[in-house]
A = this chain, B = another copy of it.
Amino acid sequence: MLEDAAPPLPDKEQNFSEWYNEIIHKAELVDLRYGVKGFIVYRPNIATIMRQTYRLFEDALDEHGHQICNFPVVIPLEFFQKEAEHIKGFSGEVFWVTRAGDTELDKALLLRPTSETAMYPLYAYWIRSYRDLPLKLYQSNTVYRYETKATKPLIRGREFYWIEAHDVHRTLEDAVKQVKEDMKITIDVLHDQLGIPFLLMERPEWDRFAGAEKSYAFDVLFPDRNVLQIATTHLLGENFSRAFEITFEDVDGTKKYGQQTCFGIGISRIAATIISMHGDNYGLILPFHVAPTQIVIVPIPKKGQNELITEKCEEIYHKLKDRGYRVKLDNSEDRPGAKFYHWELLGVPIRLEIGPKDIEKGMITVFRRDKRERIQVKEGKILEVIEQLREDILKELRTRREKDLEENIHEAKSREEFLEIAKNRGGFIKIDFCDNAKCAEVIKVETGGYEVRGKLYGKEEKPKGNCIICGGKAKSVVYVAKAY
């Protein structure tokens, strides 16, 4: 562990909110001075992470037979009004485009809050026969919601960066399989490439997406023990296909409604998660896959030997660049200490320090950001070591967060115990529950905002007692948490 500098940030564990507000400015991630409430500016240090995250998910979607498409940002009113539940869910929070130049538009257009109603009228044109199925399309775009809740940069805003996939299948069985594939894609990227653990929840009936039959969501735990939904996949069944007339002629010649799913991946929220989960009091710690700079080289100058040092740094720089790494050679005038501080703040996973002593010994000093540890590596072994480190760092980050998640899942056997945990500890609270919306409302009121997030997906958990809220028959084990 380095002890050479005081951490530049407030303590993350003790005061997460302050830590978050400082890091987003100190690391130049966002700017909140845009002058329109709920709309923020994403600076390169976060926009690059988001771009890389988009690419990871796009490639994973492509790999599983999805295809990219682009629908307009505006939705005509007559499209939007076709599915009743959906309008109810969104109409209070849409932005309206009413004028162009000096002309009032004949028909007002809304900025998409999500694209079901934009896409499905076209799906009705495209799908004629079972041969046209499955149809698996996604968009990488922004959506607009006039949020009335307090906004928080990257977490809740009025402009939201995400991917939305919308699929139509021939049978309900295929649609259910699609939901599982969506989960697999999300798990692969979150777990394998970003080191982000989560609870995958089946949302309770009253918290489903407007128009969905089943909603599944990826909830992650933040350092303040609040949770955030970062991805969802929904089984829509025939709700939308009936409203939008998405029908096909099946193998047997009969006309059927398409079985639909939709899938949302919150790119700005995943960025917020990367910042919050992995960061420490020295700044960001970025997973290799999304780091704008994966490796930084810092020359350690010494009078009379600087030419030699520069040469060696450049040699290593080109070696790494040729291998496809996003590498930077920091040749600025600053002292090495200032450079260390800067690149640690920005979360560059690996730093190489090359000075006269290193060169003399044929070694390179390698600093790994996650553990803030230095090791000495033979120059000839540097590629091998980096290759290994990128795995090790990801594993270390993931292990930390998995431990944290595990430690913050509490079981409450009574209402009193539940309220005590909610008040003093936070995190996920596991309770036996009657599956009744009224009891969920009681929880919300008594805890000042805790929500029933749902049942754990993929693991049958049977209640052992009665509902801890009403004392009635418990139907399931649910996880309760305070959400952003």
Contact = CB atoms under 8 A, between A and B. Distances in A.
B51 A68 contact: yes
A172 interface: no
Interface string A147-163: 00000000000010100
B122 A73 contact: no
Residue of A41, A125, A137 most packed against chain B (CB within 10 A) = A41
Interface stretch (A91-99, A225-233, A302-310): A91-99
A206 interface: no
Given A36-B72, A36-B109, A58-B51, A99 B98 contact: yes
B47 A69 contact: yes
Contacts of A50: 70
Contact of A39 (B74, B103, B137): B74
A42 interface: yes
A140 B140 CA distance: 11
A40 interface: yes
Interface stretch (A27-35, A175-183, A256-264, A377-385): A27-35
A67 interface: yes
Contacts of A121: 35
B100 A97 contact: no
Interface string A115-130: 0001001100110000
Interface string A71-114: 11110101100000000000111111111111100001101000
A76 B42 CA distance: 17
Nearest to A136: B44
Given A33-B125, A96-B98, A44 B68 contact: yes
Contacts of A71: 34, 41-42
Given A36-B109, A50-B70, 7 more contacts: A34-B118, A48-B67, A96-B97, A96-B99, A97-B98, A98-B98, A98-B99
28 contacts: A31-B122, A31-B126, A33-B122, A33-B125, A34-B71, A34-B72, A34-B76, A35-B76, A35-B78, A39-B72, A41-B71, A41-B72, A42-B69, A44-B67, A44-B68, A44-B69, A44-B137, A50-B70, A73-B111, A73-B142, A73-B159, A93-B100, A93-B101, A96-B98, A97-B98, A97-B111, A99-B108, A103-B146
Interface of A: 31, 33-36, 39-44, 47-48, 50-51, 55, 58, 67-74, 76, 78-79, 91-103, 108-109, 111, 118, 121-122, 125-126, 137, 140, 142, 144, 146, 159, 161, 292
